[in-house]
Amino acid sequence: MTKVFYNEDADLNLLSERKVAIIGYGSQGHAQAQNLCDSGVDVIVGLRQGGESYQQADEDGFDPRPIAEAAEAADIVQILLPDTVQKQVYEEKIADNLESGNALVFSHGFNIHYRQIVPPEDVDVYMVAPKAPGHLLRRVFEDDQGVPALIAVFQDSTGQARDLALAQAKGIGSTRAGVLKTTFAEETESDLFGEQAVLCGGVTELIRAGFETLVDNGYSPEIAYFECLNELKLIVDLIYEQGITGMRESISDTAEYGDLVAGEDIINEKSREAMENLLEDVQNGEFAKRWLLENRVGRPSYIQRRENQRDHQIEKVGRKLRSMMEWQGD
Ligand code: NDP
Ligand code: MG
Ligand code: MG
């Protein structure tokens, strides 16, 4: 098993002489900046003026500075902007403000792994990647607990990169739960694969295909919605809390028998082959190339696919049924 790092493995004092610039104040930025600050770290928030998050950072008691100014003032610069804008902002506002011995930090490896950002050799480059959205990272921290995180070192110029990553992970509360070491390649490729094959792409298509099969065969859309979408949460919650075996103990024997015999027919050899191909595209950079190109030309395919799917029957029936269940999500 991979080694897990806890509070006693990390030394916050390493950050006591260093200023940390958090660039961006969105999902991760607001959470990591506030958690670090509450851990006694000297944080400066770097933002473009006039954007939405500027006001939020201001309200939260930071004095947001222009990005170049924050990068210049700091010893550690963490980029928490959307992955698709990081390269441009880095080149225009950050690169010239990195000094020898500084650290450049990420929460996802995309731009480093696919060589979009090529940092100078005399800075540390590492990752601190909490395994949760920002609002959860903040809430759990405020409850004196922590969200697990991954750390990875891409470039260790000072000899302290790993310890700095651990110190930052402690500052955001993650060593309370446990921190795992990975690499930029492993984090980036597994993240892209997971969201495409399983979490997002796989699950949404599975839901739609099940729904369409029922509706095409004359079953009512409302019944199909409950069966193929609404109930999914109940099953996923059980899997999340107790694993697949635990979930199977909670469902009926009939459901479990169906699960055991039908699953491999649905996610079959062909699906696994598709997963292999998808992983290959992630590994050889083809997916990254397509996505970056898509962004460069104004996201035509992204926008069209999103629009097409927004008006799918399952979305329409879902809006109606969810309005009958407003207690959901309490
Ligand atoms: P967000 O989309 O929430 O970032 C929004 C912030 O970026 C805002 O402060 C926004 O400013 C600023 N911003 C957006 N575009 C620009 C631009 N062109 N120039 C300057 N500032 C800009 O990002 P996330 O927090 O979701 O992601 C940050 C990093 O963390 C990414 O690398 C992501 O992969 C990683 N990550 C994200 C997780 C998540 O749950 N969201 C989980 C783990 C890692 P403004 O208000 O002015 O628009
Ligand atoms: Mg991702
Ligand atoms: Mg049932």
This prediction's pTM: 0.94
In the chain, where the domains are located: 4-182, 195-324
Paired tokens of 117: 């950002």
Q: How confident is the model at residue 325 (pLDDT cuts 50, 70, 90)?
A: confident
* pLDDT recorded at residue 329: 62
* pLDDT recorded at residue 125: 98
Distance 165 CA to ligand 3 centre (A): 46
C-alpha torsion angle, residues 305, 306, 307, 312 (rounded to 10): 90
- 291 CB neighbour count, 10 Å cutoff: 17
Distance 100 CA to ligand 1 centre (A): 26
What count of residues does the chain have? Answer: 330
Average of per-residue pLDDT values in the chain = 97
* Ligand having the closest approach to the CA of 29: 1
- 140 CB neighbour count, 10 Å cutoff: 20
Per-residue burial over 79-99, b = 16 or more CB atoms within 10 Å of its CB, e = otherwise: bbbebbebbebbeebbbebbe
* pLDDT recorded at residue 18: 98
108 annotated active-site: yes
Q: Model confidence over 202-258: pLDDT tens digits?
A: 999 999 999 999 999 999 999 999 999 999 999 999 999 999 999 999 999 999 999
* pLDDT recorded at residue 328: 76
CATH (residue range 4-182): 3.40.50.720
Residue 151: its H or E element: strand 149-155
In sequence order, which residues have a C-beta less than 8 Å from that of residue 177 and are 6 or more positions away? Answer: 145, 146, 147, 148, 149
In sequence order, which residues have a C-beta less than 8 Å from that of residue 277 and are 6 or more positions away? Answer: none
